[in-house]
A = this chain, B = another copy of it.
């Protein structure tokens, strides 16, 4: 593991597009909490978003898919680029120098790892129970954190997380959300709770149901939720075809 890191840090200048990284905000939903997958860095007392570098001839988006896959074991999931962060002050060269020094690597001024990095931000919505968090070579832990209760994050990662959340909230107006985040069969109150958790506010039950059904992306199943004593609510599932179309073309509201 240590060897792998050393190898990458020494050869990174030849392998990767210079001064560029990707960072992924990976959201999951569990116990009515929005969760974010974070890495605990080995050489610093901070947590960080899962990120990585872009190979010289690699699609930038593919680098994000790689990161996602290697941190969660999941493929083929909802992933969206949301913003590129380009402030010269965002690279923490001190932190990066410490990593080099901790590995007995020479930290000379022109080392590729000590230059300024621009980072392209992606967010992903994953199935909490299918994801298997795995640390990367520079981390000692990989874990879900409640959005309500986050540890201190390295560099500008808190800013990146906030922007991802803001984008997700705005995209709730255009795009359906819930697939991946909910089990295959769910009740309307469960779907409403997901929306309320993402938006951080209460929604009116009747309006929510009317609007959500109006999108035509839900199938009402012929079964009701079990184990509920009184007036068991209907179960729904996403209509995959209509859901995919809405992801592509938007929810066809607005102007």
Residues of A at the B interface (CB closer than 8 Å) are 17-20, 54, 56-61, 81, 83-84, 86-88, 116, 118, 120, 170, 172-174, 195, 199, 203, 208, 211, 250, 253-255
Please judge, given known A-B contacts A54-B86, A87-B59, A255-B195, whether A17 and B118 are in contact too, CB under 8 Å: yes
Contacts A19-B19, A173-B173: A84 and B120 contacting too (C-beta < 8 A)? yes
Closest chain B CB from A166 CB (angstroms): 9
| Shortest Cβ distance from A54 into B: residue | B86
- Establish whether residues A172 and B60, one from each chain, have CB atoms under 8 Å apart when the complex forms: no
| Among A88, A250, A253, residue most surrounded by chain B Cβ atoms (within 10 Å) | A88
Contacts of A60 in B (CB 8 A): 84, 86-87, 118
Task: Please name all residues of chain B whose beta carbon is closer than 8 Å to the beta carbon of A173 when the two chains form the complex.
Answer: 173-174, 253-255
How many chain copies does the complex carry?
2
| B17 engages A172 (CB within 8 Å) | no
Chain B residue at minimal CB-CB distance from A87: B59
Q: Indicate which residue in B18, B84, B170, B208 contacts A18 across the interface (CB closer than 8 Å).
A: B18
Across-interface contacts of A84 in B (CB, < 8 A) = 60, 81, 84, 120
Q: In the complex where A86-B60, A88-B59, A250-B170 touch, is A116 in contact with B255 (Cβ < 8 A)? A: no
Contact for A203 among B87, B172, B255, CB less than 8 A: B255
Secondary structure call for the A interface = mixed
Residues of B within 8 A of A120 (CB): 84, 86, 118
Instruction: List B contacts of A170 (CB < 8 A).
Output: 174, 250
A18 → chain B closest CB, angstroms: 4
Q: Is there contact, CB below 8 Å, between B86 and A116?
A: no
User: Hey, which chain B residues are within 8 Å of A54, CB to CB?
Assistant: 86
Q: Find out whether the CB atom of A83 lies under 8 angstroms from the CB atom of B81.
A: yes
- CB A87 to nearest CB in B, in angstroms, measures 6
Known: A120-B84, A174-B170. A17 touches B17 (CB 8 A): no
Greatest chain B CB density within 10 A among A17, A81, A86, A208 is at A86
CA distance A81 to B60 in the complex (A): 17
Q: A19-B19, A60-B118 are in contact. List 9 more A-B contacts (CB 8 A).
A: A17-B118, A54-B86, A57-B116, A81-B84, A86-B120, A170-B250, A173-B254, A195-B255, A203-B255
